[in-house]
Amino acid sequence: MNGRLPAIFPGLAAGGFRETSPATSTYNCIAWAAARSDQWWEPDPHLQFFWPDGIGRQYTLPAYIAAYESVGFRICPSGELEIFFEKIVVFVDGNGVPKHAARQLDTGKWTSKLGRDVDIEHANPLALSGQLYGQPTCFLRRPRRLDRLLLNLCRRVRTILTWR
């Protein structure tokens, strides 16, 4: 287990975590939450990073929500696992500025890209709460792709059959 991450994110120690991908600067957490690992998403108009067409290039929660809505997400009330939907959460700091985003996995755990550092799997969004990323503030969901839905259903049936 990487010892430096719990020092930065004390909540990781309680729920556990594991590194799932090596460090890279190809993509960031905002892209990773949208299931993209081929480009860095950033609204700054002076930087040459991707941002969805027609979405205001601002560091505001409404701009981030609009960016995620452009790829099919809609605001939802919570991060509770729903078999028919994939979910993400946007973190904002005390000034309301988006700082991080995470994506829920089929298992109900969450995955995050930590800046230019590694990707991790963690128990819940609160594990990354704190001074660096702020608080998980806005949950969004979109329908799961059919292949992911079928795979998830098969896992659940296997679990039920194994349990008996």
- pLDDT tens over the chain, length 164 residues: 457 899 999 999 888 999 999 999 999 999 999 999 999 999 999 998 999 999 999 999 999 999 999 999 999 999 999 989 999 999 999 999 999 999 999 889 999 999 999 999 999 999 999 999 999 999 999 998 888 778 777 877 777 787 76
Residue 28 corresponds to which tokens in the numbers above? 């960031």
Give dist(CA 27, CA 144) in Å, integer. 22
| Distance of alpha carbon 17 from alpha carbon 12, whole angstroms | 6
In 10 A of CB 130, how many CB atoms? 14
Predicted local distance difference test score (pLDDT) of residue 129: 96
pLDDT value of position 2: 58
Task: Tell which residue, 88, 162, 114, 156, has the closest CA to residue 12.
Answer: 114
Measured CA distances, 5 to 2, 8, 27, 140 (Å): 6, 5, 19, 26
What is the predicted pLDDT for the residue at 1? 41
Give the pLDDT of residue 88: 98
- What gap in Å lies between CA 92 and CA 12, rounded to an integer? 18
pLDDT value of position 30: 98
Distance CA 51, CA 71 (A): 11
Q: What is the pLDDT of residues 33-65, one digit of tens each?
A: 999 999 999 999 999 899 999 999 999 999 999
Q: What residue type is assigned to position 139 of the chain?
A: F
Do residues 126 and 136 lie in contact, with contact meaning Cβ atoms separated by under 8 Å? yes
What is the rounded distance in angstroms from the CA atom of residue 84 to the CA atom of residue 101?
20
User: For the chain, what percentages of helix, strand and coil (3-state, to nearest 5) are there?
Assistant: 30, 25, 45
